[in-house]
Amino acid sequence: MGNKNKDRKKASAYECQEIEYNIKQTNPVAKVFIYIFLIIWAVINIFPIYFMFTFSLKANDEIFGENIVGLPKNWLWSNYISAMNTGNMGRYFINSLIVTIAAIAISIMAALMATYALTRIKWRASKLMNSFLMLGLTIPLQASIVPVYVILSKAHWLNKYSTLIIPYSAFTLSMSILICTGFMVDIPYDLDESARIDGCGLWRTFFSIILPLMKPALSTIGIYAYLQCWNEFMFANVFISDSAHRTLPVGIKALSGAYTTDWGPIGAALVIATFPTLIVYIFLSRKIQESFIAGAVKG
């Protein structure tokens, strides 16, 4: 009898999988605590962003006075105007955009081509070459900074867009290849063979068959590379000293040095640097999370 009961229980657990291991069966007091805890942690994670948006719209007397965490009483959009004009944030924003887009484009193209050669053409050392390129996942950025800096400064190549574009595309390359490989091995190999029979060479196969099928991979790689380049600080800080080519992180540091007592424009600058990421995240949160998981779990 007892045995039968157990069997039935097992069967029902099988039928609707959610019946046992979930929060519904937790006792109500513990459940309340769990939710309170999760909500507090959520508030702690949202608060800095809320704080940033509100103080970007306040004057000093509100920030330093009684209204430090509330909504702004006077919405001071002029903070944004001073961040854009005197703080030069518009310029830095465009610089960041140029550097990021160019680096992503180069990295994706190089990664697609390399991945094609590594996964879809059969040759002896392809595995070895792949592990060589994967070294880039563990090598710290700092490893190459001294020689690259010396070479660039001797060649008078500091303070240009390409000073950052080339290293950024190199640093995102290994991850791009890794993600690309994941997508490219899923394309059936029959496609290549039938293309070969129809007289397609390797180049035509790549451009007219593989590339169009890699579209879903592009957004995953693109998002990952975007976050790396948009937020990168060390190289930008070391390689760029003139204000015409500063990217946002370096620009913010310069601005905060200039406006030590006036918080509003700094807040505005922080919002300007952050909102593209937040907008992308609102619409593509799942995709972004997937690209992070793809990067870490396979690597």
| Contact region with another protein (CB under 8 A), list: 4-12, 74-82, 156-164, 184-192 | 4-12
| Contact region with another protein (CB under 8 A), list: 45-53, 70-78, 80-88, 207-215 | 45-53
117 vs 87: CA distance, rounded Å: 46
| Contact region with another protein (CB under 8 A), list: 72-80, 130-138, 186-194, 208-216 | 130-138
**Are 279 and 212 a contacting pair, CB within 8 Å?**
no
| Contact region with another protein (CB under 8 A), list: 72-80, 133-141, 187-195, 210-218 | 133-141
Q: What share of the chain is helix, strand, coil (3-state, %, to 5)?
A: 80, 0, 20
Q: How many other CB atoms are there within 10 angstroms of residue 256's CB atom?
A: 15
Residues 146-175 that bind another protein (CB under 8 A): 146-151, 153-154, 166-167, 169-171, 173-174
275 vs 283: CA distance, rounded Å: 13
105 lies in the binding site for another protein (CB under 8 A): no
Figure out which of the listed residues 97, 105, 145, 200 binds another protein, where binding follows CB under 8 A: 145
* Residue that is written with structure tokens 């950024």 in the block: 168
**Are 54 and 71 a contacting pair, CB within 8 Å?**
yes
Strand runs labelled E in 29-144? none
**255 CB-near residues (< 8 Å, 6+ apart):** 83, 87, 88, 89, 265, 266, 269
Figure out which of the listed residues 221, 227, 240, 268 binds another protein, where binding follows CB under 8 A: 227
32 lies in the binding site for another protein (CB under 8 A): no
Residues 81-100 that bind another protein (CB under 8 A): none
Figure out which of the listed residues 26, 86, 162, 208 binds another protein, where binding follows CB under 8 A: 26
5 vs 294: CA distance, rounded Å: 43
Figure out which of the listed residues 32, 36, 40, 49 binds another protein, where binding follows CB under 8 A: 49
123 lies in the binding site for another protein (CB under 8 A): yes
For residues 256 to 275, the per-residue mask of contacts with another protein, x marking binding by CB under 8 A and - elsewhere, is x------x--x---x--xx-
| Contact region with another protein (CB under 8 A), list: 74-82, 184-192, 208-216, 233-241 | 233-241
- What DSSP letter does each residue of 274-291 carry, written as one string? HHHHHHHHHHHHHHHHHH
